[in-house]
């Protein structure tokens, strides 16, 4: 649309400028009102896409109200002409859960200062950043037989994240949307049970639902906490809200935005999974940060988001980025993988036994990689010269696997190697595969990262010595 964008973050280090080129960063906190006026200076339209459940179940509604009050007041004082807020569906005339009631009250608080607010109320968002969809995804992926309470029969109108983005951007230019509450939803009205079974069908998983008459929100949230990465403090308010139907009652949004025709749920799921498979996911619910839980990242960590298990490690390398990248680009083939090469060969042999490609393919060129190249039992999916290589596994595994290397410059001619082993487990078998092999992966990948560091530093010293002769 040709608009200048400013993003408000508590920690500017979390902003990825490469994915958002040209965007400006402002540092502030909605619970610290004195930080907001500088962020809103010169802003005509502000998007409000905030909730505070990450800080814990207790008191999230009060935090949401306070944050909206602070933002609305600052927006009025700084001359913001329009606020666009993404809230939640639900009939306000009925007994809403604390979570859904908080979503509505947040919109009311934003309107209190008099700045025109467009409030888009949506049901389950299918895609990155949606805790509701992630909860449904993990339960379906990990449990062949799902014990389900009565709320699985509640109706919802899930909407693809792509359609959400279309509505959000269209609101800027549409005067009829200004100051309105608009209900938006996808093409299908489904129960949560139907949503789980359709997801299972898309993933080619056989799933059965076993419904039980009593399973309280507290017990349900503890169960979700046990079998998924979503903590009970997140799950409890969401599950409590699943007792309320979240369907569009007023179709005005379709009349105001005739060019937007939301897709059905199955298509939305397929698009969300394709986004993950192509490694394009940029935002997830787990990437949101609460000021109550700020902490520095660990050098080696395992996270789970968007169905992916990601094992990340960072290594500081005393060598220029171009030297480090050259070492990474030379991995595999006759050079091997620099650490525990015997185990790599054993893995290739086992893959051959079950009809896979094994390790016999080697590599096209000893020093250079390009997208589409075979590399032992990997396929090169992306090469960003000097900074990133993405390998997709072609061995037989119950899921999809990738290995990503990122090279970043780091003061005084040094580098930072960010190495990620990424796995998209298919069902319970994929999850068991990951955890059974994780102890071996942890040793192999840590050893490989350290070997890459040593090789790069040796090459850097050799280059420096040659330059001084």
Q: Is residue 293 part of a domain?
A: no
Q: Is residue 376 part of a domain?
A: yes
- Of 443 and 428, the structure prediction assigns the larger pLDDT to 443
Average of per-residue pLDDT across 148-155: 82
Per residue in 313-346, pLDDT tens? Answer: 999 999 999 999 999 999 998 889 999 888 888 8
Per residue in 387-411, pLDDT tens? Answer: 999 999 998 889 889 999 999 998 7
Q: What is the mean pLDDT of the chain?
A: 85
Q: How many residues in the chain?
A: 469
Q: Is residue 238 part of a domain?
A: yes
* pLDDT at residue 273, as a whole number: 86
Residue 350 pLDDT level (bands cut at 50, 70, 90): confident
* pLDDT at residue 424, as a whole number: 87
Tell me: do 419 and 462 sit in the same domain: yes
Q: Give me the domain span that covers residue 447.
A: 300-468
Say yes or no to pLDDT of 18 above 60: no
Q: Give how many domains the chain has, as a whole number.
A: 2
Do the Cβ atoms of 376 and 345 come closer than 8 Å?
Answer: no
* pLDDT at residue 334, as a whole number: 86
Tell me: do 168 and 26 sit in the same domain: yes
Tell me: do 283 and 304 sit in the same domain: no
Nearest Cα neighbor of 54 from 84, 10, 20, 92 is 10
Q: What is the share, in percent, of the chain residues with pLDDT greater than 90? A: 48
Tell me: do 335 and 252 sit in the same domain: no
Q: Is residue 35 part of a domain?
A: yes
Residue 147 pLDDT level (bands cut at 50, 70, 90): confident
Average of per-residue pLDDT across 218-243: 70
Q: Is residue 388 part of a domain?
A: yes
| SS3 call for 52 | coil
Residue that finishes a domain, picked among 220, 253, 288: 288
- C-alpha distances out from residue 150 to 134, 214, 235, 376, Å: 20, 7, 16, 50
Q: Give the whole-angstrom CA distance, residue 383 versus residue 365.
A: 14
Most confident of 215-229, 318-332, 353-367: 318-332
Residue that finishes a domain, picked among 288, 322, 339: 288
Say yes or no to pLDDT of 218 above 90: no
Q: What is the CATH number of the domain that holds 83?
A: 3.40.50.720
Look at the pTM and tell me if it is higher than 0.85. no
* pLDDT at residue 113, as a whole number: 92
Tell me: do 321 and 220 sit in the same domain: no
Tokens 């040209």 map to which residue?
A: 22
* pLDDT at residue 296, as a whole number: 42
Most confident of 90-104, 217-231, 292-306, 372-386: 372-386
* pLDDT at residue 243, as a whole number: 77
* pLDDT at residue 277, as a whole number: 61
308-317 and 414-425 strand pairing: antiparallel
Q: Is residue 269 part of a domain?
A: yes
Say yes or no to pLDDT of 301 above 90: no
Per residue in 156-174, pLDDT tens? Answer: 999 999 999 999 999 999 9
Tell me: do 99 and 51 sit in the same domain: yes
Tell me: do 398 and 273 sit in the same domain: no
Say yes or no to pLDDT of 189 above 70: yes
Per residue in 109-132, pLDDT tens? Answer: 999 999 999 999 999 999 877 888
Residue that finishes a domain, picked among 230, 257, 288: 288
Q: Is residue 1 part of a domain?
A: no
Average of per-residue pLDDT across 338-356: 86
Task: Give the tokens for residue 296.
Answer: 């520095």
Q: Give the whole-angstrom CA distance, residue 110 versus residue 119.
A: 10
User: Among 204-208, 237-241, 305-309, 314-318, which is the least confidently predicted range?
Assistant: 237-241
- Of 134 and 88, the structure prediction assigns the larger pLDDT to 88
* pLDDT at residue 288, as a whole number: 46
User: Among 34-48, 327-341, 353-367, 401-415, which is the least confidently predicted range?
Assistant: 353-367
* pLDDT at residue 285, as a whole number: 44
Say yes or no to pLDDT of 54 above 80: no
* pLDDT at residue 429, as a whole number: 86
45-48 and 82-88 strand pairing: parallel
Say yes or no to pLDDT of 252 above 60: yes
Say yes or no to pLDDT of 180 above 60: yes
Q: Give the whole-angstrom CA distance, residue 101 versus residue 80.
A: 26
Tell me: do 305 and 253 sit in the same domain: no
Tell me: do 279 and 310 sit in the same domain: no
Tell me: do 258 and 127 sit in the same domain: yes
From the CB of residue 216, how many other CB atoms can be counted at a distance below 10 Å?
A: 11
Q: What is the CATH number of the domain that holds 385?
A: 3.30.530.20
- C-alpha distances out from residue 409 to 14, 237, 322, Å: 17, 43, 9
Residue 293 pLDDT level (bands cut at 50, 70, 90): very low
Q: Give the whole-angstrom CA distance, residue 122 versus residue 309.
A: 28
CA 2 from chain centre, in angstroms, equals: 26
Tell me: do 65 and 195 sit in the same domain: yes
Q: Is residue 295 part of a domain?
A: no
Average of per-residue pLDDT across 302-321: 86
Tell me: do 262 and 338 sit in the same domain: no
* pLDDT at residue 290, as a whole number: 42
Q: Give the whole-angstrom CA distance, residue 108 versus residue 129.
A: 24
- Of 97 and 191, the structure prediction assigns the larger pLDDT to 191
* pLDDT at residue 17, as a whole number: 54
- C-alpha distances out from residue 420 to 71, 75, 384, Å: 37, 40, 16
Say yes or no to pLDDT of 284 above 80: no
* pLDDT at residue 234, as a whole number: 67
* pLDDT at residue 214, as a whole number: 63
* pLDDT at residue 43, as a whole number: 95
Residue 295 pLDDT level (bands cut at 50, 70, 90): very low
Cβ neighbors of 346 (< 8 A, separation 6 or more) are none
* pLDDT at residue 84, as a whole number: 97
Most confident of 113-117, 229-233, 464-468: 113-117
Say yes or no to pLDDT of 291 above 50: no
């Amino acid at each position: 649309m040709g608009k200048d964008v400013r993003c408000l973050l508590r920690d500017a280090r979390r902003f990825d400028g490469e994915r958002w080129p040209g965007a400006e960063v402002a540092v502030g906190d909605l619970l610290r009102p004195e930080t907001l006026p500088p962020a809103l200076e010169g802003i005509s339209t502000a998007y409000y896409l905030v909730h505070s459940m990450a800080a814990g179940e207790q008191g999230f509604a009060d935090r949401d109200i306070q944050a909206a009050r602070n933002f609305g007041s600052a927006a009025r004082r700084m001359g913001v002409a329009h606020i666009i807020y993404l809230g939640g569906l639900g009939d306000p005339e009925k007994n809403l859960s604390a979570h859904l009631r908080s979503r509505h009250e947040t919109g009311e608080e934003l309107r209190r200062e008099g700045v025109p607010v467009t409030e888009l109320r949506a049901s389950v968002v299918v895609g990155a950043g949606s805790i509701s969809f992630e909860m449904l995804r993990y339960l379906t992926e990990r449990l062949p037989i799902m014990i389900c309470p009565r709320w699985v029969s509640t109706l919802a109108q899930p909407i693809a994240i792509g359609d959400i983005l279309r509505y959000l951007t269209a609101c800027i230019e549409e005067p009829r949307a200004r100051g309105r509450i608009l209900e938006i939803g996808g093409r299908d009205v489904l129960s949560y049970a139907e949503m789980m079974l359709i997801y299972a069908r898309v993933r080619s998983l056989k799933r059965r639902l076993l419904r039980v008459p009593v399973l309280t929100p507290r017990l349900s949230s503890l169960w979700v906490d046990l079998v998924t990465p979503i903590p009970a403090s997140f799950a409890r308010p969401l599950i409590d809200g699943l007792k309320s139907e979240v369907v569009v009652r007023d179709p005005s949004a379709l009349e105001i935005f005739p060019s937007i025709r939301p897709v059905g749920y199955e298509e939305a799921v397929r698009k969300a999974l394709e986004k993950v498979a192509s490694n394009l996911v940029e935002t997830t619910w787990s990437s949101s940060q609460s000021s109550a839980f700020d902490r520095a990242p660990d050098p080696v960590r395992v996270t789970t988001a968007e169905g992916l298990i990601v094992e990340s490690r960072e290594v500081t390398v005393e060598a220029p980025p171009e030297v480090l990248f050259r070492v990474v680009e030379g991995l595999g083939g006759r050079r091997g993988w620099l650490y525990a090469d015997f185990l790599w060969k054993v893995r290739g042999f086992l893959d051959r036994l079950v009809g896979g490609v094994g390790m016999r393919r080697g590599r096209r060129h000893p020093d250079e990689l390009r997208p589409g190249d075979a590399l032992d039992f990997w396929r090169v999916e992306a090469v960003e010269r000097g900074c990133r290589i993405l390998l997709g596994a072609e061995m037989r595994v119950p899921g999809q696997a990738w290995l990503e290397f990122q090279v970043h410059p780091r003061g005084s001619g040094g580098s930072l190697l960010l190495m990620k082993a990424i796995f998209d487990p298919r069902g319970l078998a994929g999850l068991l595969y990951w955890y059974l092999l994780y102890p071996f992966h942890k040793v192999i990948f840590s050893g490989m990262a350290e070997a890459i560091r040593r090789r790069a530093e040796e090459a850097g010293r050799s280059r420096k010595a040659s330059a001084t002769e």
